[in-house]
Amino acid sequence: MSLLIQKFGGTSVADPESLRNAARRIATAREAGHSVVAVVSAMGGSTDGLVGLAAQLSQRPADRELDLLLSTGELASASALSIALCEVGVSAVSFTGHDAGIITDGVHGRARIVDVDPSLLEMHLDEGTVPVVTGFQGISSTSGELTTLGRGGSDTTAVALTAALGATACEIYTDIEGVFTADPRYVPGAYKLDCLAYEDMCELAVGGAKILAHSSVEYASTYQVPVHVRSSFDTSDGTWVNNHFCGGPAEIFSERFVPTGVAHQTGQSHCRLGGVEEGTAAAVFAALADAAIPLDMVSFRTQEDALLFTVQTGDQPRVSGVLGEMPRGTFTSCDWSEPVGKVSLVGRALSAHPRILSQVLESLRDSGVALGDVAVYAKRISVTCREDAVISAVATLHKAFLERQQENAGTGLARLGWQASKALPARRPDKAMRAAGNTLVRTAKRAN
């Protein structure tokens, strides 16, 4: 009997009928011979409501109290799904992140999982019970306090439990059919990918794709966890995210640019620190890292003594707070842009094709999109623009690279990279495959 981890997002547990549907999914998997651990997000919209409540009460609520408040959303979902499971004849028990053995580094609001002890879950699985685990939360290894994992943290919980329990796969249930080449709500020509590699999904997530949290894909890649993104509301095949270059040997495309998708994100703010010398730039990065603030589009212009980066606009007060605590003279000026959007083209072999950047810039210019900053990575090109131009920019790049690629499918190469059937793993590797000395996962049954 194989073990599946099934994670249900906010829309999949949003109301009584959605909860019943999730319960039926779990019951069907058990009827097919699988054991199941369920992981849940808060009911759709409830986290935003709790954040709004805190904001009405305080401009800067204490991180500890905010974590405790936000964690109640997942607690409600876990209990509700357990009740729904019992009604369809499935024995189920809800677990907090602490109960499930999720141990974190103790950073409130942005904690990272450092260890997992799933012994209590294993005991209940052995008894034939379905554990329903609250995603998004764990317990600090140092203080014993409850901590949350940040937006998308339920995905990370599910992947970490898949690795710790040696499960066959991690199924992520959401409200769309899988991972698309762009957001289908805004790009009618977007199409579903049958399969993509961890590194490509990572770049899409950093670029703003909301299907999977970036941290969850990093963990999946580290522990070789196959992730299956599926719709809660139909039986379509979904998208597999794994360690394969789906469809054929990677060397076939070693010198060929293969576009994966276009991601976007609004609510970005650009920061420019002036008067930053080489000796103090490292201190700035270290301080922001200690606060667990993710940065993107980072550049350090030594000739100008300027440090530039983008953050989510919601993180701007936290960044300003961190910078305000740094020693006098670390920088001489701090300037913020108005909120902007970020659009990213993701694809393989970008670094081998500098002309792709030229084509990106020309396409956006011809469509009337005025650009701000441009950053080029090995597998991603990101640009900033006005927020009201983001959708136009996404549609332009998707048409220029993805839809054109699809039109050329007769070459036999265009869609080859997205065929999943030849690349899916038969099952998860044994727990013993984990590298010695890696402390993220500690299982009760691990031999070493």
Q: Where are the domains of the chain?
A: 3-247+423-433, 259-410
Correct CATH for 259-410 of 3.30.2130.10, 1.10.3720.10, 3.20.20.30, 3.40.50.10540:
3.30.2130.10
Q: pLDDT tens for the chain, 448 residues: list them.
A: 799 999 999 999 999 999 999 999 999 999 999 999 999 999 988 998 999 999 999 988 999 999 999 999 999 999 999 999 999 999 999 999 999 999 999 999 999 999 999 999 999 999 999 999 999 999 999 999 999 998 889 999 999 999 999 999 999 999 989 999 999 999 999 999 999 999 999 999 999 998 999 999 999 999 999 999 999 988 889 999 998 655 544 444 456 778 899 999 999 999 999 999 888 899 999 999 988 899 999 999 888 889 999 999 989 998 999 999 999 889 999 999 999 999 999 998 787 788 899 999 999 999 999 999 999 998 999 999 999 999 999 999 999 999 877 666 544 434 434 333 333 343 443 443 333 333 444 443 433 3
CB-based burial label for 106 (10 Å; 0-12, 13-18, 19+): middle
Type of residue numbered 156: T
Q: CA gyration radius for the chain?
A: 22
* 385 three-state secondary structure: strand
Measured between alpha carbons, how far is 193 from 216 in angstroms, rounded to an integer? Answer: 19
Q: Which residues are annotated as a binding site for substrate?
A: 47, 74
Q: Which residues are annotated as a binding site?
A: 7-10, 47, 74, 174-175, 185
The partner residues of 35 in beta bridges, in order of sequence, read 3
Type of residue numbered 154: S
Cα torsion through 272, 276, 280, 283, rounded to 10: -10
Encoding tokens for residue 129? Answer: 């019970």
Q: What is the DSSP string of 8-55?
A: E-GGGGSSHHHHHHHHHHHHHHHHTT-EEEEEE-PSTTHHHHHHHHHH
CB-based burial label for 200 (10 Å; 0-12, 13-18, 19+): buried
Same fold, 3-247+423-433 and 259-410: no
Residue 99 dihedral angles phi and psi, to the nearest 5°: -60, -35
Measured between alpha carbons, how far is 214 from 139 in angstroms, rounded to an integer? Answer: 21
Q: Which residues are annotated as a binding site for ATP?
A: 7-10, 174-175, 185
Superfamily of 3-247+423-433 according to CATH: Acetylglutamate kinase-like (3.40.1160.10)
Rounded to 10 deg, the angle between the 63-87 and 16-31 helix axes is: 60
Rounded to 10 deg, the angle between the 153-165 and 214-223 helix axes is: 10
CB-based burial label for 152 (10 Å; 0-12, 13-18, 19+): buried
* 144 three-state secondary structure: coil
Encoding tokens for residue 228? Answer: 């299956």
